[in-house]
Structure 1
Amino acid sequence: MNIKQRVIVLIREVEKGKYSNIALNEYFRANKLSKKERGFITELFYGVIRNKIFLDYEIEKRTKTIKKDWLKDLLRISIYQGTFMNGDEKGVVWEATELAKKKFSVPVGKFVNGVLRSYFREKDEELKELRENNRLDILHSYPKWFYEKVQEEYGNEAENFLISLKKVPYMSVRVNKLKYTEEEFEDLLKELDIDIIKKVETVYYIDSGEVLYTDEFKDGKIIVQDGSSYLAGRILNPKPGDIVVDTCSAPGSKTAVLGELMENNGEILALDIHSHKLKLISENLNKLGINIVLPVKMDARKLKEQGKHFDKILVDAPCSGYGVLRKKPEALYNKNLENVVELAKLQYEILESASKVLKIGGELVYSTCTIFKEENTLNIEKFLNENKNFSVMKMDIPENVLGEYDKFGGFLINYKEEILDNFYIIKMRKDSEEC
């Protein structure tokens, strides 16, 4: 099967609701491909999803309704390749024309040829006009509400945010120090001829996903995890013997950081509202050799209704996910501003509930993988105003992780950081009973 036909199959799966990262990983596991082929498929696949608004805008300017999804995806792929991958435009047009002829008919091939030739003839002027007319929402492929929201919150920095969230992500894995050492992992990378792009403590950003097919990964010596996610757990910094709760645990990667820091000594309650996710948490943590975790089916908003109190609490709250668009670009198309407001309310309810069962002198980390202030700074402002018995603690952010502190001391890993996911983290202490 032609590589572009393979990509069309993957795009269809995402359009039907499958997560892009899951679709791609499943495809690579089921098909033996060269490193070059995997790289090309990844770039085309994610590129089309990231730039769908721009691609569809250009297609719709030159066509009436396209009833065949396959044909529309072929046009998307071809325009993306010729615009963002510096593909040879004549070669791109020729290949797309031939694929359409074989799949449908000669007239359909001629239709594809005409649409693409029209676009490439006008491409430079099109890009120039979008910028001059301040249609950066289309140019960078964002829903208009999202573009306006980022512009409102970040002003002159808005375009930097928009560009940053469209960058290609790197594979990142964390060394599980309960089973493995950084030195051993670096020796493995040398054996596999894999380069390290960036290292954040025990998290490595690397230029190949080949490590996922190794015995070391199967044995739980390494785990897929972003540095931002790791930092949320590491900053909480639970000690051996602590009683800890991870309020929104699945799939358990942050819970694993907590278990490792506790040296597998103490107790962690890992909450989730879905039974099938509790099984996933157990499987992942057993693989990593962590046995102090008790998965519990519970709505974290009801945490305050049970009698147990905790030394440390991680509230990595459900959020809009706009900080991880590099890895899950389809999230742009299935949420809106109303969802952000609803999520901010949910996050606050979880945070408020968790605060009631934190011991005096206990510590709590609140984090989200999003960039909007409703879900981050504004939630913290409301919480601190209503809970005078809490204070913000200083955090140890690695020097090679870039971002900005907000007025309360929360840290947003933002567009200045080229590699890690955008992420908000703040740490608080309960100084006394409620004032």
Structure 2
Amino acid sequence: MALLNSTQIRSQAAKSLELIAFEGQSAGEILNHIEFENPSDTSLFKAIVLGSCRYFVRLEALTLLLLKKKFKPKDHDLLCLLIVGLYQLDEYSRVPDHAAISETVDACRALKKDWATKLLNGVLRNFLRQKDALNQKLDRDWDTKFSFPEWLIKRIKPHYKGQVEQILEQSNLQAPMSLRVNLMKTTRDQFCHQLDEVGLGYSKHTFVDSAVVLEQAIPVQSIPGFSEGHCSVQDVAAQVAAQLLAPSKDQKVLDACAAPGGKTAHLLELTHNNIELDAVDIDPQRCIRIQENMGRLALGANIEAEDALSFMQAKTEHYDAILLDVPCSATGVIRRHPDIKLLRRDADIDELCIIQQQLLTAAWKALRPGGKLLYATCSILFEENSAQIADFISNTKNAKLASLPPELTAISQSDIGCQILPGTDSMDGFYYSLLQKEG
């Protein structure tokens, strides 16, 4: 892990943003390997990188209004540094204007591009002079107003008429920190009493009885009972999965595409560790994380580092219940991972849909007659969700939709399964469809 000093915050943020926007690296991969000598500098660095990702589309459009000509590809680091500077000036950051400008210029020198210092200084000062007029221009179109790629808005718009602006706006808000109480070890009321004792504000979720939403995010080490396995960090919408699948004691259960293991653990907690659970994920490193999770929570599962498709294709009517949390566009969790706006491409969606179909077909083969399969995504896209399930049911004679709890149907934005939109009852955007195998 690289340890850096405070003068490198902006230059390193620009380099990191370049890797995300132009090299396709995820913010998580980058941020996990960079730390500054001062923890507050690390927090500022991460806030700048993620904030610049969140508003990249808008801020890049802003550079086109301010520059006489675009930067060449070899100067993408300068473009990203300018975006970092504009991010701090455009009401997204608490850094004083004069400090944001001088630090951006200093970072330009740190990038060894002294020739551009006057250019960046002039552009940033020009922005401050024209700020209101420029922002009015950007607010005319949804892509620049909400800083979303145009292709993604086009995919969302036909299926959420009258809700598009709300979806985009909610996706730009920072998500709250949500906890899953381990009901094997404590009750939610007992856990909340621990929070009261240390003065942490929270709310109990209305219909997910394991969920607590904190008023303010804190380091996990500061959460009472975390190291003892009394709770885990997990979005409320993700906690719905185990409650819906609800396996019974001694059943054989599969969690396909299981990493990072939150839903795996929740299934075991709800059944008091009394199911035979296989957790499969293709990434060995992520499987190690699942194992570490199991250890902290004192849970047991058979964890397989294997391709879920091959794994399921080798099984025939083997499982009583399957959680199929398929690879998806992750468009429902942009508020947590704003780099998704930069990493995802329109062509990815059709490719993902093919993978989802293959996994669903293989999972159905591995499910016993009378068994239940929960199809899950953290997407809000019609093609990945209700369209997939409608197509599968129409082509699979022994598949039928199982009913969902009224609390979910009340908030669902889909007639097939349950589509949760970002921000609904403090939740991320998720889709669930519970299928029953007849016979």
Equivalent in the alignment of 1:413: 420
Equivalent in the alignment of 2:431: 424
User: Which of 245, 251, 264 is residue 273 of structure 2 equivalent to?
Assistant: 264
Instruction: Map Cα deviations across residues 385-407 of structure 1 (whole Å, 9 max, x no partner).
Output: 012322212222657x9842422
Give the Cα–Cα distance (whole angstroms) in 2 for the partners of residues 394 and 402 of structure 1.
13
Q: Is 1:273–1:299's contact at 8 Å kept on the other side of the alignment?
A: yes
CA drift of 1:33 comes to 3.1
Letter in 2 for 1:187: H
Equivalent in the alignment of 2:367: 358
Between 3-12 and 313-322, the greater mean CA deviation after superposition: 3-12
Equivalent in the alignment of 1:125: 133
Structure 2: tracts of 5 or more residues without a match: none
Equivalent in the alignment of 2:87: 80
Question: Aligned residue pairs: how many?
Answer: 425
Give the Cα–Cα distance (whole angstroms) in 2 for the partners of residues 377 and 136 of structure 1.
25
Give the Cα–Cα distance (whole angstroms) in 1 for the partners of residues 299 and 353 of structure 2.
32
Between 356-365 and 317-326, the greater mean CA deviation after superposition: 356-365
Give the Cα–Cα distance (whole angstroms) in 2 for the partners of residues 106 and 340 of structure 1.
42
User: Which of 368, 374, 395 is residue 377 of structure 2 equivalent to?
Assistant: 368
Equivalent in the alignment of 1:147: 153
Q: Which secondary structure does the structure 2 equivalent of 1:9 belong to? A: helix
Give the Cα–Cα distance (whole angstroms) in 2 for the partners of residues 397 and 39 of structure 1.
41
Letter in 1 for 2:53: I
Q: Is 1:361–1:429's contact at 8 Å kept on the other side of the alignment?
A: yes
Instruction: Map Cα deviations across residues 15-37 of structure 1 (whole Å, 9 max, x no partner).
Output: 43553345446656x65535xx7
Equivalent in the alignment of 1:325: 334
Q: Is 2:16–2:49's contact at 8 Å kept on the other side of the alignment?
A: no
CA drift of 1:177 comes to 2.4
Structure 1 residue 46 corresponds to structure 2 residue 54: no
Letter in 1 for 2:122: G
Q: Is 2:5–2:37's contact at 8 Å kept on the other side of the alignment?
A: no
Q: Using structure 1 for the length normalisation, give the TM-score.
A: 0.86
Between 68-77 and 201-210, the greater mean CA deviation after superposition: 68-77
Q: Which secondary structure does the structure 1 equivalent of 2:161 belong to? A: helix
CA drift of 1:341 comes to 0.8
CA gap of 1:68–1:205, structure 2 versus 1, over 3 A, is farther
Equivalent in the alignment of 1:393: 402
User: Which of 300, 309, 329 is residue 300 of structure 1 equivalent to?
Assistant: 309
Q: Which secondary structure does the structure 2 equivalent of 1:349 belong to? A: helix
Give matches, 1:166-181, under 5 Å: 166-181=172-187
Letter in 1 for 2:331: Y
Equivalent in the alignment of 1:201: 209
Give the Cα–Cα distance (whole angstroms) in 1 for the partners of residues 29 and 204 of structure 2.
24
CA drift of 1:96 comes to 3.9
Q: Which secondary structure does the structure 1 equivalent of 2:312 belong to? A: helix
User: Which of 57, 63, 69 is residue 61 of structure 2 equivalent to?
Assistant: 57
Instruction: Map Cα deviations across residues 362-381 of structure 1 (whole Å, 9 max, x no partner).
Output: 11111100011110011001
- After superposition, the CA RMSD in angstroms is 3.1
CA drift of 1:352 comes to 1.5
Q: Which secondary structure does the structure 2 equivalent of 1:217 belong to? A: coil
Instruction: Map Cα deviations across residues 329-379 of structure 1 (whole Å, 9 max, x no partner).
Output: 112222222211111111111112111222222111111000111100110
Between 84-93 and 263-272, the greater mean CA deviation after superposition: 84-93
Equivalent in the alignment of 2:412: 404
Give the Cα–Cα distance (whole angstroms) in 1 for the partners of residues 105 and 244 of structure 2.
55
Q: Is 1:19–1:328's contact at 8 Å kept on the other side of the alignment?
A: no
Letter in 2 for 1:317: V
Give the Cα–Cα distance (whole angstroms) in 2 for the partners of residues 101 and 392 of structure 1.
57
CA drift of 1:305 comes to 3.2
Q: Is 2:422–2:428's contact at 8 Å kept on the other side of the alignment?
A: no
Letter in 1 for 2:16: E
